[in-house]
Amino acid sequence: MKQEIETIQAEALSAIGAAENQAQLEEARIAILGKKGKLTGAAAGMRHLSKEEKPAAGQMLNEARQAISAALDEKQVVLQEKADELLVAGVDMTMPAAELAAGGLHPLTIVKDRAIQILRRMGFALAEGPEIEDEFHCFDALNTPQDHPARNEKDTFYFDSGKLLRTHTSSVQIRTMEKAKPPVRIIAPGSAYRRDDIDATHHCVFNQLEGLFVAEDVKLGDLKGTLEFFLRHMFGEKTEVRFRPHFFPFTEPSFEIDVKLHVKGEEPKWIEVAGCGMVDPAVFDSINAGRKDELFDSEKVTGFAFGMGLDRLAMIQWGIKDIRLLIENDARFLKQFS
């Protein structure tokens, strides 16, 4: 057996040395060390040896396997270096490299990160929820009546299962209150979906950021101060902000918020940027019914909620005239923000 192992090792090293490419090297490896390889066959013959012969034969097999494996590794390195040399043959390595285009953040990402940064400074934590929602979290728990237009199939994307694509991130507020205890102070940025006709200012998918603060003795003045602070840090300390009475099913009283937009060469004009209000007690009642406790008793806690479109904030920030530019991924447009 000693002679057989020495012969196999010599033939193996010769085949490895003669290999001119990776395919030939792999072929040699399989012929020697594969399941049906010569050295594997020799190892199988150990069972025919006596107890006295096995130790010496086993040692020879291990030494042969180690020598062959080392030769394979060395040849692998040599062949790889040869392949690398061929790859760059004829290439002038002293030529300067081609300049790589610099990337940048998308305008929506810039606005979202900025908004989160400002609100985190005021103690708001990030929260998230599913984009595929049910009617309870999207409508019922938010005090939205059955005949409200938003629940119509013409306005909302429904699945055959009865689930829907959330029309706002307010559903995250409900899911947070179902699990957390007051005080609650969260913001929920994310995508929302509505069956809007697509034009320069509307799209079927858009980005929202909603906020909720619930605790004892939260007042309307807290809401006003929070949003004025936010908008003036977003658009500038001299930004004019106004609150207009409005109606939302889940807040009472409710307001729409405008900022005065100053565009060079144009008359200043008010533009709506957000909706807000004090959380309606009916929303707290719905939460308590689901939790089966009174932690959100409207006699003990109050709160405010707000929501804004990040797309609109970006359009105001940079004077973007068409919302479709924000999702078309046109490199010529996006390059302005890199």
Q: Which residues are annotated as a binding site for Mg(2+)?
A: 252
Largest CA distance in the chain: 104
Check whether the bond before 183 is cis (ω within 30° of 0). Answer: yes
The secondary structure of the chain in percent helix, strand, coil, rounded to multiples of 5, reads 45, 20, 35
User: In a 3-state reduction of DSSP, which class is residue 126?
Assistant: strand
Q: Are 280 and 249 in contact (CB under 8 A)?
A: yes
Known binding-site residues equal 252
* Dist CA 74 CA 133 (whole Å): 59
Question: What is the identity of the amino acid at 189?
Answer: P
Q: Are 109 and 189 in contact (CB under 8 A)?
A: no
* Dist CA 78 CA 69 (whole Å): 14
User: In a 3-state reduction of DSSP, which class is residue 256?
Assistant: strand
CA distance to 24, 53, 70, 188, per residue, from 39 (Å) = 18, 17, 15, 65
